[in-house]
């Protein structure tokens, strides 16, 4: 299940997490210390510290799992970019065994694919969009390598390797396209919000007898949890700033056409 508020939904939700966490913390402190229910809430003094520890651990584990998903997505994106760059370099190297003009045709087709990927498709990835021109150019590259003009003059093993490498490009490109389309999973983050509120409540209840200790403990947890969750959220799409995956490996995979 995904939650789509647009191409930059994780940034909006990161703001909601920051405002919501501190808002919930101050409301909770007001209810515990200043509201009409404060005397009743203070009657629950004596809750053991172990009660707080259990909920804290559950919250921390869930946050760690979400962070792990985010870093894994970035690692997969990096792997796909470097794999695509290596495959493009292999095609150019194999094309050097071809006589002219087949060598020139294949090399130029690879260069055009690289140019379109870097200049046209990469900005689209940040907007969760695909580049039709790149897809058409990849189709043209595969068609050219499989054409009689190339297979007639190429060693059969070289032609087969080049075709397989071109097909592999499609696979790695589809991986990064899929990763660029990733949106926030609302069920995971609603669960985190619920656990976070329970943790805030448990901290407030453990320190219900001493207001200043209660204030400090609640605000310390909010300051630890909210920015951490916001950082995880804004890194949800590996092709968006502030640490977007760069197209440099693909751009550097082939030398400029003479």
**Domain ranges in the chain?**
9-251
Of 214, 210, 207, 187, nearest in space to 25 by CA:
214
pTM given for the model: 0.82
pLDDT in tens, the chain (258 residues): 445 556 677 888 889 999 999 999 999 999 988 888 888 888 887 776 776 777 888 888 989 998 998 899 899 999 999 999 999 999 999 999 998 888 999 999 999 999 999 999 998 888 888 778 999 999 999 999 999 888 898 888 998 999 999 999 999 999 999 888 877 777 888 888 999 999 999 888 888 888 899 899 999 999 999 999 999 988 888 888 888 899 999 999 886 544
Question: Residue holding tokens 């092709």?
Answer: 239
For CA atoms 99, 101, 106, 111, give the dihedral sign: positive
Q: What is the pLDDT of residue 3?
A: 52
């Amino acid at each position: 299940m995904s939650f789509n508020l647009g191409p930059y939904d994780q940034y909006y939700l990161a703001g909601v997490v920051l405002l919501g966490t501190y808002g919930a913390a101050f409301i909770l402190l007001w209810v515990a210390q200043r509201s009409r229910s404060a005397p009743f809430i203070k009657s629950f003094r004596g809750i053991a510290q172990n009660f707080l520890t259990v909920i804290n651990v559950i919250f921390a584990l869930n946050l760690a799992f979400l962070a792990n998903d985010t870093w894994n997505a970035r690692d997969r994106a990096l792997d796909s970019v470097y794999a695509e760059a290596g495959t493009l370099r292999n095609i150019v190297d194999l094309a050097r065994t071809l006589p002219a003009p087949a060598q020139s045709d294949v090399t130029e087709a690879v260069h055009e694919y690289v140019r379109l990927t870097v200049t046209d498709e990469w900005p689209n990835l940040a907007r969760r969009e695909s580049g039709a021109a790149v897809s058409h150019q990849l189709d043209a590259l595969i068609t050219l390598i499989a054409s009689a003009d190339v297979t007639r003059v190429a060693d059969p093993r070289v032609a087969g390797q080049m075709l397989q490498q071109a097909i592999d490009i499609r696979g790695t490109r589809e991986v990064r396209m899929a990763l660029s389309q990733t949106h926030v999973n609302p069920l995971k983050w609603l669960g985190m919000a619920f656990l976070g509120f329970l943790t805030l409540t448990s901290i407030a209840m453990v320190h219900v007898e001493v207001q200043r200790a209660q204030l400090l403990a609640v605000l310390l947890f909010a300051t630890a949890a909210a920015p951490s969750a916001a950082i995880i959220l804004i890194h949800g799409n590996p092709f968006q700033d502030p640490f977007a995956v760069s197209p440099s490996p693909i751009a550097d995979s082939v030398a400029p056409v003479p």
